Structure 1
Amino acid sequence: MTEPVLSIQNLSVRVPERARIGGGAGDLTVVEGLDLSICPGERVALVGESGSGKSITARAILQLNRALVYDGSIRWDGTELLGAGERRMRRLRGSEISMIFQDPMTALNPVLTIGQQVAEPLVVRGVARREALRRAAEMLDRLGVPKAKERLKAYPGQFSGGMRQRVVMAAALIAEPRLLIADEPTTALDVRVQEQVLDLIEAMSREMSLSVLFITHDLAIVAGLANRVAVMYRGRLVEDRPVDELFENPRHPYTRGLIGSIPRLDADPDTRLQTVGDFMATEGPTV
């Protein structure tokens, strides 16, 4: 069996009392006892409602919230990341692990050109500016941005939402990382553009042998993308299984609720749509 490139074991994340917004006594645990691994080239979907701990888990991998308290282990290629210094993490971010953040409308700096922002991960690693821009145009072209070389001097406001997301993806992939963390990458995009973005992520994963951690609250969009689905509920992992098995026979009532609340085209319009709460009268076993 292939060894995982990323291995998370018994991860717990707490917000210390001093950092809690609005006060509150004691530390607040937002992720507890999480185990998750990703193998080379594997696409894993981390699914759950807003507030379940998905994004906090993703940001913990890259140590983006230094004010939080972490326990457990996050190992990348066998090397422990929890407790790693900022200098080590800066070398890792972008070159080995990249992240796409939620909203393409706000992920880009409006006063910097597209070329500057896509080329930046290479420039900060010592690549000459001209070469970095050349490779930026190549990456944008691979991701389907028309007239990519000409548009390097354009600004984010001149791009549609779908094109901005392609730009964000280009910046994340230009340094050829081995793991891409995509945090709700289809937020604020219409259904057709969502499909295009998902197709791009799958295509780049295959082309670059790229591992993907795909974070979403929408279980409906992961069936054609993920090899495996991990479901989070209230900061805990409650199910982690191959995608086909999970959809055919969900074990936890929360997973059944996520699946059962997906609208169906063949449903009776007069019938009330079920909610996750309808399935949560009793909580089943975790993973």
Structure 2
Amino acid sequence: MDTTTPLLTLDRLSVSVPERERIGGGVGDLTLVEELSLQIRPGERVALVGESGSGKSMTARSILRLDPHLRLAGSIRWKDQELVGAPERRLRRVRGREISMIFQDPMTALNPVLTIGEQVAEPLTVRGMPKRKAHAKAVEMLDRLGVPKAKERMRAYPGQFSGGMRQRVVMAAALVAQPDLLIADEPTTALDVRVQEQVLDLLEEQSREMNLAVLFITHDLGIVAGLAHRVAVMLRGCLVEERTVDDLFTCPEHPYTRGLIGSVPRLDADPDVRLKTVADYMSTEGATTHA
């Protein structure tokens, strides 16, 4: 995998809110992501980890240029083309077809007044595929992702599905056009533990079967061990550590990473001993933002 030409290369990517766009005022641009460099290869699953506000979702959204008011610096290279500064027409060809994204809350990601079938088939119909063929491919993808009686449920609405089934529908819409890269932004946060496991298993399975690259965004290091090949850790908009998943859990280098791992409650821990927080690790080891 390391010898494969990267699909996606982020080179010193910075994302900021221009001064004129800042809510509540403020002087100067507000930096959200600072000089982040990262590569993803075909079939590779990379986890982008950090606390809320660390810049994970901003990085993901910037890859697809979903927030045009933000200012980007550096490079986002997709295959052989630069996306920073690319025209909207080029970006529309990439979104959904080559790079798809799953958002955190499947209920807000789905339109409540459109049927499941319309929404799963939409990535195909908007690109000119005949409705009957798009409908058949949508049924096939829903069935592949374990939605029971997929053909019948194409006529259902999102409100008639459970949270876990809605997330499968969102995944089906993201995968039906067979993209090369799937960005999954905290896709298990709103789900219970059992359904979380099912969604993670589906992501891993589809990645293997479709040679699909995955950028998996989460604040929970505990759920990436069985999914990711590599883990990139973000703190305050900066990348502080990037390792293979085995190396990261065996010997984390940055105190922030050690804090993320060490602050997870354990079943065998002494209940009378206070659990250390990430801040405890940072203050004890005198960490700085940069590695």
Compute the TM-score of the two structures, normalised by the length of structure 2: 0.97
| Partner Cα separation in structure 1 for residue 7 and residue 94 of structure 2 | 13
Distance 2:5 2:289 in 1: 27
Q: Show CA shifts across 1:181-212 (max 9, x none).
A: 00000021000000000000000000000000
Q: Is the 8 A contact 1:252 1:286 kept in 2?
A: no
Of 49, 52, 56, which aligns to 1:50? 52
Return the letter of the residue paired with 2:73: D
4+ residue runs over 3 A deviation: 284-287
Q: How many residues align?
A: 287
Q: Secondary structure at the match of 1:45?
A: strand
The CA distance in 2 between the partners of 1:200 and 1:92, in whole Å, is 23
Query: How far apart in 2 are the matches of 1:3 and 1:264?
Result: 40
1:219 corresponds in structure 2 to 221
Secondary structure of residue in 1 paired with 2:128: coil
Q: Secondary structure at the match of 2:199?
A: helix
Give identity over the alignment, percent.
74
Deviation of 1:285 after TM superposition, in Å, equals 8.0
Superposed, 1:174-189 pairs within 5 Å as 174-189=176-191
8 Å contact from structure 1 (residues 229, 246) kept in 2: yes
Query: SS of the counterpart of 1:153?
Result: coil
Distance 1:277 1:127 in 2: 52
SS of equivalent residue, structure 1 residue 106: helix
**Aligned position for 2:257:** 255
Partner residue in 1 for 2:107: 105
Structure 2 counterpart SS, 1:90 = helix
Q: What CA RMSD, in Å, does the superposition of the two structures yield over aligned residues?
A: 0.9
Q: Is the 8 A contact 2:236 2:289 kept in 1?
A: no
* Paired residues of 1:252 and 1:285 also in contact (CA < 8 A): no
User: 1:85-100 to 2 correspondence within 5 Å?
Assistant: 85-100=87-102
For the residue of structure 2 that corresponds to 1:10, the secondary structure is strand
1:34-45 aligned within 5 A: 34-45=36-47
| Aligned partner of 2:160 among 138, 158, 162 | 158
Distance 1:26 1:286, change over 3 A: closer
| Aligned-partner residue type, residue 246 of structure 1 | L
Question: Residue deviations 1:46-73, cap 9 Å, x none?
Answer: 0000100000000110011110100000
Q: Deviations over 1:201-252 (max 9, x none)?
A: 0000000000000000001100000000000000000000100000011000
CA-to-partner distance for each residue in 1:151-193, whole Å, 9 max, x for gaps?
0000000000000000000000000000000000002100000
Cα distance in 2, alignment partners of residues 197 and 20 from structure 1? 36
